[in-house]
Amino acid sequence: MAEHARIARFFAPLAQKEPGSFSLTDDAALLTPPPGQSLVITTDSVIEGIHVLQHATPAQFAQKLLRRNLSDLAAMGAAPWRYTLNLHTPAGLADAWFAAFATTLAGEQEQFGCTLIGGDSTSGPADAPIHTTLTCFGLLEGPALHRSTAQAGEDIYISGTIGDAALGLQLLQHNPQHNDTLTDRYHLPKPRLALGKALHGIATAALDISDGLLADIHQLCAASGVGACIQREAILCSAALQERLEHDPAIWQLVLSGGDDYELCFTAPTALRNHIAALSQQLGLPLTRIGETRAISGVALLDATGALLPLTHLGFEHR
């Protein structure tokens, strides 16, 4: 199917809720944010063989692409609203791939409350990897959460559990057909949008954990001009990961630096501990205090005895 016919058939229906998309018949969209709200804009790519496995399904592409963008919105306390989509696919890719991709996106945007408004579609060599990019527009009432506003002497929290996605990827690399709760965490991130919104007035700084827990804490500290002391055994791991960790302590490296968690890490004053515990109960989401910020620069990692652990690898970084 040719490009314009493919857009009209598979993607124009995803744009119906936004009049300013003009049913994807123009080269640009026209957006008017609701009164009193600011736009928060983020963009991320999902590339075959880098962010998803080779031969990932269309559903896995669509879900990871949208959700990792939504996680960036959550980290700033914004709500999803609109998005654009860029697809670069191998020439001759079957229409069934686009149909499945668009069907999954339809379900995702219904679940998260956002609407397609435009984008671009190109094709390359038949052996080229699938390259998808999404730009998400979120809505924000009031000030945004930033990673540069933490102060020394504050608590550091993480949401949910850490390390599942990295271990899930490792299992998939050994057996692409492996399927359990760990591989689900790799394929299907859970953007913490409700938490991000609730952190207004509570968190002093926040970011999502995508490149690895220690790497992202280091980024937050560097942006804020503070350091951090992290208690390794305070980090919450799922039962599935904890079971493996007891048999193989080397898995700690995946927990600390594996990435792809898409949980939120945030700082807050010590006086708000009870408030944060109540918020955790309200959301049904673990919010675990794992350390504190400090005036001395750098990130220190301590074991259960209080001994300093070496930091050999913080996390992922593109070169």
> Do both 159 and 301 map to the same domain?
yes
What does the mean pLDDT of the chain come to?
A: 94
Do 167 and 303 have their domain in common? yes
pLDDT digits (tens, 9 = 90+) for 93-129: 999 999 999 999 999 999 999 999 999 999 999 889 9
Instruction: Determine the pLDDT at residue 33.
Output: 92
The stretch 221-235 carries a mean pLDDT of 97
Asked if residue 223 and residue 250 are part of one domain, the reply reads yes
Q: Is the Cβ–Cβ distance between 143 and 220 less than 8 Å?
A: no
Give pLDDT, residue 288: 98
266 and 232: one domain? yes
Q: Does residue 316 sit within a domain?
A: no
pLDDT in tens, 160-217: 999 999 999 999 998 888 888 999 999 999 999 999 999 999 999 999 999 999 999 9
CATH of the domain at 134: 3.30.1330.10
pLDDT of 310 > 90? The answer is: no
Q: Tell whether 83 and 181 lie within a shared domain.
A: no
List C-alpha distances in Å: 13 to 8, 24, 40, 88, 97.
8, 9, 24, 20, 17
Higher pLDDT, residue 234 or 55? 234
Residue with tokens 């493996």: 244
List of residues 6+ apart from 31 with CB closer than 8 A: 18, 20, 39, 82, 117, 137
Same-domain pairing of 136 and 160: no
Among the three residues 111, 140, 169, which one is the final residue of a domain in this structure? 140
Give the pLDDT score at 313: 65
pLDDT for the residue numbered 176: 81
Tally of domains in the chain = 2
Question: Is the confidence at residue 251, as pLDDT, over 60?
Answer: yes
Q: Is the pLDDT of residue 315 over 70?
A: no
DSSP-derived 3-state class of residue 125: coil
318 pLDDT band, cuts 50/70/90, is very low
Do 8 and 109 fall into the same domain?
yes
What percent of the chain has a predicted confidence (pLDDT) above 70? 98
* pLDDT at 319 (0 to 100): 45
201 and 118 co-located in one domain: no
Residue 112 and residue 187 in one domain:
no
What tokens appear for 40 in the block? 């928060």
- Same domain for 100 and 197? no
Give the residue numbers spanning the domain of 73: 3-140
Is pLDDT above 80 for 316? Answer: no
CATH of the domain at 258: 3.90.650.10
CA-based nearest residue to 292, from 255, 256, 266, 259:
266
The 10s digit of each residue's pLDDT in 35-67 is 999 999 999 999 999 999 998 999 999 999 999
Q: How far is CA 45 from CA 70, 190, 299, in A?
A: 12, 17, 29
Q: Is the pLDDT of residue 28 over 80?
A: yes
Note whether residue 277 is domain-resident.
yes
Please report the pLDDT score of residue 2 as a whole number.
81
| Of the residues 140, 171, 187, the one at which a domain ends | 140
- 128 shares a domain with 208: no
Taking alpha carbons only, the member of 90, 135, 99 closest to residue 117 is 135
